[in-house]
Amino acid sequence: MTKGNGDDPKPGSRMERIQQGVRKRTLLAKKKVQSITKDDVKSYLLRNAFVLFTIAAVILGVILGFSLRSYKMSYREVKYFSFPGELLMRMLQMLVLPLIVSSLVTGIAALDSKASGKMGVRAVVYYMSTTIIAVLIGIVIVIIIHPGKGTKENMHREGKIVQVTAADAFLDLIRNMFPPNLVEACFKQFKTNYEKRMFKVDIPSNDTSTVASIISNVSEAMETLTRMKEELVPVPGSVNGVNALGLVVFSISFGLVIGNMREQGQALKDFFDSLNEAIMRLVALIMWYAPLGILFLIAGKIVEMEDMGVIGGQLAMYTVTVIIGLLIHAVIVLPLLYFLITRKNPWVFIGGLIQALVTALGTSSSSATLPVTFKCLEEINGVDKRVTRFVLPVGATINMDGTALYEALAAIFIAQVNNFDLNFGQIITISITATAASIGAAGIPQAGLVTMVIVLTSVGLPTDDITLIIAVDWFLDRLRTTTNVLGDSIGAGIVEHLSRHELKNRDAEMGNSVIEENEMKKPYQLISQENESEKPLDSETKM
């Protein structure tokens, strides 16, 4: 018997076990397929109606967009045609502000400072590691494929680029973390502008020549003593858009304070909890309109698209390179990371996110997709609300895997087009600045183009060459936004798995405190009930 047990792990017996396992699974699958009824199909279709409608909307949008391109619609007609899609964007953006504030405050307040601290560290480590991996993938792919062969002379240019200094951009990021006015932070972000100003520059004067010139001509003497110099100086300015970073910092701080206030902060906890629930119910209503909005968003963008003939060989290769890089990160790296940490099937988890991913593809904004991402993670994937309320708003603000990959790749592509050989130090500089710049990229359409200026400036590349890639940016922006949303969602799943012990302990503590409160209240409730029961009798006797 012992020998038999010892011989068990032989290759032959292992193969037999595998074969038996495969047979059992195929038999079970057959039984399941045979046992499917019409009611099962109906219930499946009802459960996944939103997802199916959204996927159908994307397919119909692409078909409708390409079929209408032959009509050569004017800009005004395209805007009218895209109006249903614009409405969806406005609805989702309307909910982003209260959702970020309420979800972060309730999420942080529901945890103690120690648990939220640990969760925060895990989330930041995940964000940084996935962003660095994304940048490395972008750099390796662009160096291997080398899409920028040839010259840039024949390449098509579009749009204009606003010059930004790297130092000012990073200072603006820190300034936006601490908004002086919370109301203004709801619709404005701080941004450094540049103004031309004239400055007097003194010239060292020669006594003999100055005296002689004063005698000859006073006006000439003044010109030799002073000279006007023109200089670009930074001045405070602002741009329209929600200052999400400032609101995130304030909400986290506010949530921590409310959590530590315990009974005193309960009223505020309940208020923000109710607000969060109300917003999620509004999201559920908007979801019925989402497929129609996505259909017109995609169709409108395809109709508005420039002539495909402007996309030459280099730009086509660049587009393919970006797509390959994003696919490697989204299809291989992120699912593998989820599997290695949680030991669960990542595709089941990703399957529950389809609606959020399709919405990201349609809206091209991770912030606008945030309400849908909440719904998918909490209701379909069953992720703990305390985790999603903390991880998702922060992730939508600072975790931009797709943007980081795209910026590093685009910078090296522009260097290749200019026949500019980058050394190892410059590639490291690009990777660091792309990682940092992606954190500062707002969760709005085509924000990556603004932060691209910082990456190019860091290695001395011409910023005007960003106009070479604008022709395809509208399409690649949608793909990188989808990657960003997937990264945020998988991050929530990983953080929940790593924080499961803290969450269980917190549940136990909350359970004990509820029991203690009930025990404390019980005698008071019994006395009040006795008094209430006695009151009618007294009144009857008095009557």
Residues 6+ apart with CB under 8 A from 284: 375
* Residue numbers of the chain with a pLDDT score lower than 70: 1-12, 150-164, 166, 199-229, 306-312, 440-450, 510-543
Residues 6+ apart with CB under 8 A from 312: 154, 155, 156
pLDDT for 527: 35
pLDDT for 227: 61
Dist CA 61 CA 65 (whole Å) = 6
Dist CA 393 CA 248 (whole Å) = 7
At position 73, the amino acid (one-letter code) is M
pLDDT for 174: 85
3-state secondary structure of 231: strand
Report whether 232 contacts 191 (CB < 8 A).
no
pLDDT for 6: 47
Q: What is the DSSP secondary-structure string of 246-312?
A: HHHHHHHHHHHHHHHHGGGGHHHHHHHHHHHHHHHHHHHHHTTTHHHHHHHHHHHHHHHSPPGGG--
pLDDT for 367: 83
pLDDT for 127: 92
- Domain extents in the chain: 46-187+241-506, 193-206+214-237
pLDDT for 536: 43
Choose among 488, 477, 444: nearest CA to 353: 488
The pTM (predicted TM-score) of the whole model is 0.76
**Range 46-187+241-506 classified under CATH 3.40.50.1370:** no
**Which residue bears the tokens 């925060």?**
120
